[in-house]
Amino acid sequence: MNDLFLKELKEAAGDAGIIENEPMMRHTTFRVGGPADYFTAPDLNRLPELLHVCKKHGAACFIIGNGSNLLVGDKGIRGLVIQISDKTGEVSINDGRLKAGAGMLLSKAANMAANAGLSGMEFAAGIPGTVGGAVVMNAGAYDGEIKDILSNVTVLDEDGKKRELSVEELELGYRRSCIAGRHYIVTEAEFLLKQGNCDEIFAKMEKFRGLRTGKQPLEYPSAGSTFKRPEGYFAGKLIMDAGLSGFRVGGAQVSEKHCGFIINKDGASAKDIATLMQEVSEKVERRFGVTLEPEVRMIGEF
């Protein structure tokens, strides 16, 4: 990209600035990923102008949250990466409705709901992503999903215009919504919760945290569940039954603690992880005739 593009990016980003050649391993829970040409974590009111500059110069623009469901290629990302960070995560609570900025960690929002005596977000206590990312993929755990508590969402469309969307308009399903396909950017979400007992709410959250700690390989970098749950099956069990527990490609490994997780066991590259995902998928399909669909979003050049 030319100097004019960079100059206009910096003007659009304001105080957040633009970082050139930013290693994406710093911004993903897998702890892998090459450099983004340009990176910024701006205030949300800067988004429309940043989108305009990218569109004007024909540059790619990628939106990320906490990087907890993301695999970035070793060769990095051409274009601009915009991180919707925690500093954009203001929260308000009124009459059972919790409104949170897209950058707020979902677990933090769940804790704030619990402190207010509001029930419904307990399942989200240990989910590592942001509110925006959770809405995009309809995140869920322990029989709870975002769609169960979501009231409405504010997004920016491709032209940087603000839109209010109802739950029905989001077309929420298992780990999916219409948001990515329509190139929307979530800026805020409102959740409708129920009044409950604080002690009971926190006890339930603590139970879920304990289950996570006991069953998931949280001691290693990963992106959580690597594959979506195939209808009628569990991805982790299929992988285990295929004899793939501990199976490795380079520094990437199928977790021996929970086969539904691929972990960065020992200095894995993004290529190691992507290759392991592909091999696991192929072996499971050959053995059981079931296709595993990645839950992890893959971007950049591998």
pLDDT by residue (tens digit) across 134-174? 999 999 888 899 999 999 999 999 888 999 999 999 999 99
Q: What confidence category does residue 270 fall into, taking pLDDT thresholds of 50, 70 and 90?
A: very high
Centre a 10 Å sphere on the Cβ of residue 130 and count the other Cβ atoms it contains: 32
- Residue ranges and CATH numbers for the domains of the chain are 3-83 (3.30.43.10), 87-214 (3.30.465.10), 217-299 (3.90.78.10)
- 225 as an active site residue: the answer is yes
Active-site residue, selected from the candidate residues 175, 182, 248, 297: 175
Mean pLDDT score of the chain, rounded to an integer? 94
pTM, entire model = 0.91
- 26 as an active site residue: the answer is no
Q: State mean pLDDT over 203-226.
A: 93
pLDDT at 103: 92
pLDDT at 88: 56
Active-site residue, selected from the candidate residues 119, 225, 255, 281: 225
C-beta contacts of 159-167 below 8 A and 24+ residues apart: 159/51, 160/47, 160/48, 160/49, 160/51, 160/52, 161/48, 162/187
Pairing of strands 185-192, 97-101: antiparallel
pLDDT tens sequence across 178-207:
998 999 999 999 999 999 999 999 999 999
- 206 as an active site residue: the answer is no
pLDDT at 54: 95
Cβ atoms 77, 59 nearer than 8 A: no
What per-residue string of b and e applies to 167-197 under the rule 16 or more CB within 10 Å gives b? beebebeebebebeeeebbbbbbbbbbeebe
CA separation for the pair 235, 139 (Å, rounded): 16
pLDDT tens sequence across 17-64:
999 999 999 999 999 999 999 999 999 899 999 999 999 999 999 999
Q: What percent of the chain has pLDDT over 70?
A: 98
pLDDT tens sequence across 67-125:
999 999 999 999 999 999 866 567 899 999 999 999 999 999 999 999 999 999 999 98
